[in-house]
Amino acid sequence: MVDFLLNLLPHLLNGVALGLLFALLSLGFMLIIGVMEVINLAHGSLFALGAYFAVMLMGQDGGIPLAFMQSYYELPAVPRYIIALIVAPALVAVVGMGLEICLRRTYGKDPLYGLLLTFGAALVLEEVIREIWGPAEYFLPLPKAIRGGFFFGDMIYSNYRIFAAVFAMAMIGLLWAFLNRTPYGAVIKAGAHDSEMVRVLGYNLSRLRLYVFAFGAALAAIAGIIMAPIWGVRPHVGVDAVIPAFVVIVLGGVGSFWGAVSAGLLVGMVVALTAAFLTEWSLLSMYLLLLVVVTFRSRGFAGKASALEA
Amino acid sequence: MNSKSIRNLFTAPMLVSFLVFGTMPFWIDAIGLYQYLGLEVMIWVIFALAVNLLLGYTGLPSFGHGAFLGIGAYAFGLTQFNIAANLWVSLFGAVAATAVLGGLVAAFISHRRGIYFALMTIACAQIFFFIASKWTDVTGGEDGLLNIQRLPLDLGLAEISIKSNFNLYYLCFAAYVIIVVGMWRLVNSPFGKIITAIKQNDSRVAFLGYNVWLYKWIIFTLSCAISGLAGALFAMAQEGAYINIMSLQWSGIVILIVLIGGGFISFWGPVLGVIFYFLARDILGAYTEAWLLWFGLIFMLMVMFKPEGLAGIWQDAQLMFGRRKEAPQACPEPNHAGGD
């Protein structure tokens, strides 16, 4: 029994790392649902784009073959990685802003139009990635400090998973503080609650929406960069990412921060544990979980009524 | 049957579509296309009409309908291999299997609407997708179910081979005629009025005493059964059943086809959409590998500037050229479904 639990431990840790990353990804998704009332099906593509930009900024295989970039690639790996973690999400945020400008024409209509527009955008972004980087898989090079593994008892455990879990936890904490302890966060939350009222109070709603979309896109990109060494970087990774994000949101309930975090952890655990015992079926478990929970609790763990039910 | 009821059963656009599709194999080569394309168009038209029964008429966005196309294809193959190598039995097997599974899914999701409905259909479709891709003994997994036969069409008096694309096309065309006539009748019946009302305001329909859940369940199951028929025809066309049509991307593309054609405002939207999609695939595809990129951009522009789709453009054109009287339903309200 003790042996069994010890064997289970790495899978549980994997589950936590995966779950925190799912939570980070879904929080960006949820911010966009809250303020824009749009299901952003392109969220996974922004996630993938973040990973590709990071590969580009880290050099090696996917680098930009320009002279001035070569001297940049000679920097040590750690500063390059930090720069990638900042610049890639910023680039994705710009793409997100472009998408938001396209989305403006769907506001106030059936939410289905927003969903369809972002589905089209996801299709386009995936093809753009295929055009630029080709269908082959890339690997994101990592600094030495977070590569490799360590022994825990007599088991090897990957350093990177620990890094990913800690980083995701820190990001979630920062995001919580941003939303709950700053005036900007208050405006975003108010926008999610009643965007018309925010406009009446004199805030520029269009600009708020633009920034929130950019912010959500940047969160997707950060999740993409952190997930890249675990899942690999290929054009189709966007679809693999957007589905867990929506499962987490529906499970946790739209509009609930901790609902999303706990649902993210639950989905991560369930996927990791089924992967340990029934590798083939690991992704199926997520949907079964969703069906069971939603059959009994129609708004997930902590959801409130939202525009999505209209 | 008097002439009025005949006029209700057939409309001018319907007869035009019968004329165009009915003669297609004779001129499709002449315009530089090929017979198999006609077959694909015919099958996808049936599928898109089934999707539009939900999306355009009942306002239920099913983002997982590709799963039912796939289930129909697999069920057709499995019936043929394991029960009887007879066309009618296999077609019945395909339709029955999708109706049963569709009815089961509908039982889980019929109390939902809007985006939640869409998300639940995605979840259910993904479950079917994973089962089909992992249950290798039955479905062949990633390789698919190979060697599905185009069984001879047994009409009692005569047996016709449908091995050629030409003959199979006419089987699909016959299915199209039956489905279009039946569906037109359905959406213009009292039942059709109620599902259209559900689209506009389901609480109000419930207050009037109708069982909204049951209507949604019926229409979802029916739409799945028709998709299953399309899947069976597709299995014969491809001579196999493959997993890719069950993927989320294909389910999304069929929604995209219906919307580009104008399924929200017209019965004929899905037909226009399918023709547009396959022409775009072959014409854009001849110039660039990344034709989906351009198709996606066209779609995005369409959602932004003309969400009523090709049918909406057609109606605008009719208005512009002053044929107001003949223009079918100038669409006084944006959500009105039922013009012809």
pLDDT at A134: 85
Is A113 in contact with B303 (Cβ distance < 8 A)?
Answer: yes
| pLDDT-based confidence at residue A215 (cuts at 50, 70, 90) | very high
User: Where do the structural domains in chain B lie, given as residue ranges?
Assistant: 3-320
- The Cα–Cα gap between A294 and A44 comes to 23
> Is the CB of B114 less than 8 angstroms away from the CB of A113?
no
Mean pLDDT of A59-67: 68
Given this model, what pLDDT does residue A213 score? 93
**Chain segment A122-179, per-residue pLDDT in tens:** 999 999 998 888 888 888 888 877 777 777 666 777 888 888 999 999 999 999 999 8
- Chain B residues with CB within 8 Å of chain A CB: 61, 108, 112-116, 118-120, 122-124, 126-127, 130-131, 134, 248-249, 252, 255-256, 259, 290, 292-293, 295-297, 299-300, 303-305, 307, 335
Contacts for A222 with CB less than 8 Å, ≥ 6 apart: A24, A50, A85, A89, A171
The residues with which A155 forms a beta bridge, in sequence order, are: A152
Tens-place pLDDT, residues A84-126: 899 999 999 999 999 999 999 888 887 788 888 998 999 999 9
The yes or no reply on domain B3-320 and CATH 3.30.2290 is no
**Tokens coding B32:** 């530089």
Closest partner CB to A284 (pick from B127, B252, B299): B127
Residue with structure tokens 């043929």?
A: B80
Q: B290: which chain A residues are within 8 Å (Cβ-Cβ)?
A: 127, 130-131
Query: Does B303 contact A117 at a Cβ distance shorter than 8 Å?
Result: yes
Give the whole-angstrom CA distance, residue B15 versus residue B111.
Answer: 37
Which of A45, A105, A123 to substitute to test the interface with B, most B CBs within 10 Å?
A123
Q: Do B296 and A124 touch (CB under 8 A)?
A: yes
Characterise A116 by phi-psi region: left (phi > 0), alpha (psi -120 to 50), beta (else): alpha
CA distance A265 to chain B (A): 19
Token pair 């099958």: residue = B43
Q: How confident is the model at residue A288 (pLDDT cuts 50, 70, 90)?
A: confident
What's the pLDDT score for residue A283?
74
Decide: B182 and B14 in contact? Cβ < 8 Å.
no
Between the CA atoms of A293, A180, A184 and A222, what dihedral angle is there, to the nearest 10 degrees? -60
How many Cβ contacts (< 8 angstroms) between chains A and B? 108
Search chain B and give the residue with CA nearest A296. Answer: B108
CB contact under 8 A, A309 and B123: no
CATH of the domain at A194: 1.10.3470
Partners of A44 on chain B (C-beta within 8 Å) are: none
Cα separations (Å) of B5 from A296, B2, B10, B59, B178? 48, 6, 9, 28, 17
Sign of CA dihedral B308, B309, B312, B313: positive
Q: Is there a contact between A290 and B248 if contact means CB atoms under 8 Å apart?
A: no
Q: Are B112 and B227 in contact (CB under 8 A)?
A: no
Single-letter amino acid, residue B246: M
* Cβ distance of B292 and A127 shorter than 8 Å: yes
> What is the biggest distance separating any 2 CA atoms in chain A, rounded to whole angstroms?
62
| A39 neighbourhood in chain B, CB within 8 Å | 115, 118-119
Number of domains forming the structure of chain A: 1
Q: What are phi and psi of B160, to 5 degrees?
A: -110, 135
Identify whether the C-beta of residue B85 lies closer than 8 Å to the C-beta of residue B265. no
Q: Which residues in chain B touch residue A298, judged by CB atoms under 8 angstroms apart?
A: 112, 116
Q: Which residues of chain B register pLDDT less than 50? A: 1, 327, 330-340
Alpha helix segments (H runs only) across chain B: 3-9, 12-27, 35-52, 66-82, 87-109, 114-134, 136-139, 165-187, 190-200, 202-207, 212-238, 248-261, 269-287, 291-305, 309-320
Q: Name the band, by pLDDT with cuts 50, 70 and 90, for residue A306.
A: low
Closest approach of A106 to chain B, Cα-based (Å): 7
- Residues B90, B97: contact at Cβ < 8 Å? no
> Residue written as tokens 């079918």?
B328
Q: Enter the ipTM.
A: 0.85
* Nearest residue, CB atoms, A124 vs list B249, B297, B303: B297
pLDDT score at B325: 52
How do beta strands B240-241 and B145-146 pair?
antiparallel
Residue A270 distance to chain B (closest CA, Å): 15
pLDDT digits 0-9 by tens, A216-228: 999 999 999 999 8
Does A65 have pLDDT greater than 90? Answer: no
- With the C-alpha atoms ordered B303, B308, B311, B315, is the resulting torsion angle positive or negative? negative
CA distance B65 to B124: 10
SS3 of A162-198: the string is HHHHHHHHHHHHHHHHHHHHCHHHHHHHHHHHCHHHH
Minimal-distance CA residue of chain A relative to B202: A310
Burial class of residue B286 in the structure, from the number of CB atoms within 10 Å of its CB (0-12 exposed, 13-18 middle, 19+ buried): exposed
Question: Which token pair is A20?
Answer: 């925190």
- Could you tell me the pTM of the whole model? 0.87
- Considering only alpha carbons, which residue of chain B is nearest residue A118? B300
CB-CB contact of B99 with B156 (8 Å): no
User: Containing H/E element for B159?
Assistant: strand B159-160
Contact call for B114 and A309, based on CB within 8 A: yes
Q: Which pLDDT score is estimated for B78?
A: 92
Nearest to B337 by CA among B7, B55, B57: B57
Is the distance from CB of B72 to CB of B97 less than 8 angstroms? yes
CB of A188 closer than 8 Å to CB of A208: yes
Q: How far is CA B314 from CA A172, A303, B273, B311, in A?
A: 50, 43, 13, 5
Mean pLDDT of A269-296: 82
Give me the domain span that covers residue A44.
2-309
The residues that bridge with B160 in the sheet, in sequence order, are B153
B248 interaction partners in chain A (CB closer than 8 Å): 239, 243
pLDDT at B6: 64
Distance CA A79, CA A283 (A): 35
Number of H helices, E strands in chain A: 12, 2
Q: Do B123 and A124 touch (CB under 8 A)?
A: no
Strand residues in A35-166 grouped as ranges (E): 149-152, 155-158
